[in-house]
Amino acid sequence: MASKNKLSLLGVSAFCESMASMLNAGIEISEAASLMKQKGEHNGQLNEGLEVIEKALQEGSTLKDAMEKSGMFPEYALQMVEAGEATGKSEETLKRLSSYYASQHSLKEKITSTIVYPLAMIVLIIIVLFLMLKLVLPAFSDVYETLTGSLSQSSYSYINYAFLFCRIALIAMSILVVVVGAGYFLYGHGFKKQISALLSRFPAAANILENLALYRFTSAYEVYLSSGFMQDDAIVKAAQMCDHPVVNGKIEKAKKSMDEGNGFGRSANDAELYEPVYGRMLLPAERSGDMESTLKRLSDLLSESVMTSSDRLLGSLESILSGVLMLTVAIALLCVMLPLIGIMNSIG
């Protein structure tokens, strides 16, 4: 019986790395699956899938078919393993897949933190505003009412502006957290293209999304090449890993150039698939026959670019939201303190 759940990105990476290590040590593939099983309830899902894989391998199935029967692996991993088996490069392909899914996991964590951290900051602002409206401002309001009889008819009515300002800020922050939360939910439930198109309207997010799409394409293309695919076939399959309209258009242009007999390096440069600083790496690599290692380096550079841009965006959002929180509290407290200053002056 196949496992009902897919492995996480890190789980797929760990499986591929362990399997590659055992194959390198000369262990039979069916025995490798058996050795990977561990005792413990927390390993139940993985062990269940490994039992399916082990049984299928013992019955003569290929590793790709056995992994497919387990139901734990994404389609891309299955295609890569199948290509590796067909070309006799199973061990190398598994190593590349391990590196690929580990990088995918790191990028996913970085993108998630870029969304979740500002969302947590907004929630904090909402809590502070709620406490200001329910506890702090009413306490001051009661004191001033006692002293003046009626705030609305006194020179101490500034506190009413504090109530108004906090209410407006609270409503704005509440709408923002609903919009961000809904967008995050929809992104993971079938509306990825629509949300990405919306985010692409903002330059900072557009740069991250484009480099992320390029990274996924480049990584997939490199793994396909290392698994024995021809360049023309590899670019078609790797393009399926990219869902960015701008990048897809450039890939299609590069593919047409390759159909005319040009190599990937020249085609990618003519299509302006990569920024010039990256694209220039491909031409000498094409001439020297070192395309796979250059693509691996290019994937690493794109990954670093995405992470750097995400850190920069996260830092900007943190500064903006912290500023909003401090400004809101400062204005509210100023409106509260002005009547107190007036009272003290009248007494003095």
Q: What is the pTM of this model?
A: 0.72
312-326: pLDDT as tens digits: 887 888 788 888 878
Q: What is the pLDDT of residue 252?
A: 92
Helical ranges in the chain per DSSP H: 9-24, 29-36, 44-58, 63-70, 75-87, 90-131, 137-148, 158-187, 192-199, 203-226, 231-239, 245-259, 264-270, 276-279, 282-288, 291-347
pLDDT band at residue 253 under the 50/70/90 scheme? very high
Residues of the chain with CATH 1.20.81.30: 91-348
Using the predicted structure, report yes or no on whether residue 274 has a pLDDT greater than 80: yes
Predicted confidence (pLDDT) at residue 224 exceeds the cutoff of 70: yes
Give pLDDT, residue 246.
86
Instruction: From 193, 140, 110, select the one nearest 336 (Cα to Cα).
Output: 140
Distance, CA of 96 to CA of 109 (rounded, Å): 20
From residue 104, alpha-carbon distances to 93, 206, 217 in Å are: 16, 19, 12
> Quick one: pLDDT band at residue 341, thresholds 50, 70, 90?
low
Q: Which one, of 337, 266, 322, 338, lies nearest residue 124 by Cα? A: 322
Q: How far apart are the first and last CA of the chain?
A: 85
Q: Among 30-44, 128-142, 187-201, which stretch is predicted with the lowest mean pLDDT?
A: 30-44
Contact (Cβ atoms closer than 8 angstroms) between residue 215 and residue 299: yes
Share of the chain above pLDDT 90, in %: 2
Average pLDDT of the residues in 59-69: 88
Asked whether the predicted pLDDT for residue 41 surpasses 60, the reply is no
User: Among 66, 78, 74, which residue's Cα sits nearest to residue 2?
Assistant: 66
- The pLDDT score that the predictor gives to residue 148 is 62
Determine the average pLDDT of the residues in 99-126.
82
Plot region of 71 (φ>0 → left; ψ -120 to 50 → alpha; else → beta): left
Task: Look up the CATH number of domain 91-348.
Answer: 1.20.81.30
Per the prediction, the chain carries an average pLDDT of 80
Q: Assess whether pLDDT exceeds 60 at residue 154.
A: no
Q: What is the DSSP letter of 136?
A: I
Position 1 pLDDT exceeds 50: no
